[in-house]
């Protein structure tokens, strides 16, 4: 709500923001200040662009196509749809990935797949992200049962418990908790 640190372009970290972050993360105020200093070293203007974010992904996956998947993750981190990630968005996402429980992390993974942010994943969204994951991991076998379309068909059959042709957040989280193989495919870092 009108926090100057997070959206006005200011790169200073005020007490109100630190207090909000200590309440919503597992970090102390000192750790938040350290994270902020490191963030500003990489992003002196206080904003991480999609291009910068993609460059980071390319460092982790140098041999493969990281742009499509990094774009999905970037969109999820950019919670206000501003086209950049500010420090608050960055730290909240880092905290969730580092300290969140399994259900929270699976909810975050759901958000990556929910491209249009309507609270459900359809076959088209799932196929787009699975294809991006294949690109990211350098998966070349995309025929038959291993094609993104066939893989998505099987995923939808397992997760769409009410047969409405969409996967809700609850169906996604509960389905991944029930099936370790599915969880490793859809949310490998969880």
- pLDDT tens-place string over residues 126-150: 999 999 988 888 889 999 999 999 9
- Is the pLDDT score of 4 beyond 80? no
pLDDT band at 8 (very low <50, low <70, confident <90, very high): very low
| Architecture category of domain 102-186 in CATH | Orthogonal Bundle (1.10)
CA distance 56 to 136: 13
CATH superfamily of 8-57+83-99: EF-hand (1.10.238.10)
In this prediction, residue 10 carries a pLDDT of 54
For 25-93, strand residue ranges (E) read: 47-49, 84-86
In the chain, what are the domain boundaries? 8-57+83-99, 102-186
In this prediction, residue 5 carries a pLDDT of 40
How far lies 118's CA from each of 73, 106, 111, in Å?
A: 16, 17, 10
Model pTM score: 0.80
Q: ∠169-188-133 over CA atoms, to 5°? A: 90
Average pLDDT over residues 172-187: 90
Does residue 86 sit in helix, strand or coil?
A: strand
Contact 164, 89 (CB under 8 A): no
Is there a common fold for 8-57+83-99 and 102-186? yes
CA distance 79 to 84: 9
- pLDDT tens-place string over residues 23-58: 999 999 999 999 999 999 989 999 999 999 998 888
Token digits of residue 12? 């200073």
């Amino acid at each position: 709500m009108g926090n100057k640190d997070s959206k006005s372009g200011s790169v200073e970290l005020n007490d109100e923001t630190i207090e909000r972050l200590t309440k919503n993360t597992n970090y102390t105020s000192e750790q938040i200040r350290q994270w902020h200093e490191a963030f500003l070293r990489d992003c002196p203007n206080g904003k991480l662009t999609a291009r910068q974010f993609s460059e980071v992904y390319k460092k982790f996956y140098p041999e493969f196509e990281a742009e499509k998947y990094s774009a999905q993750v970037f969109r999820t981190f950019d919670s206000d749809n501003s086209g950049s990630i500010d420090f608050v968005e960055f730290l909240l996402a880092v905290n969730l990935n580092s300290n969140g429980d399994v259900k929270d992390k699976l909810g975050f993974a759901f958000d990556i797949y929910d491209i249009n942010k309507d609270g459900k994943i359809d076959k088209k969204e799932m196929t787009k992200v699975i294809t991006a994951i294949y690109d990211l991991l350098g998966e070349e076998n995309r025929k038959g049962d291993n094609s993104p379309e066939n893989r998505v068909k099987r995923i939808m059959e397992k997760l769409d418990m009410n047969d409405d042709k969409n996967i809700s957040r609850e169906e996604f989280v509960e389905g991944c908790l029930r099936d370790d193989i599915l969880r490793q495919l859809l949310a490998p870092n969880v």
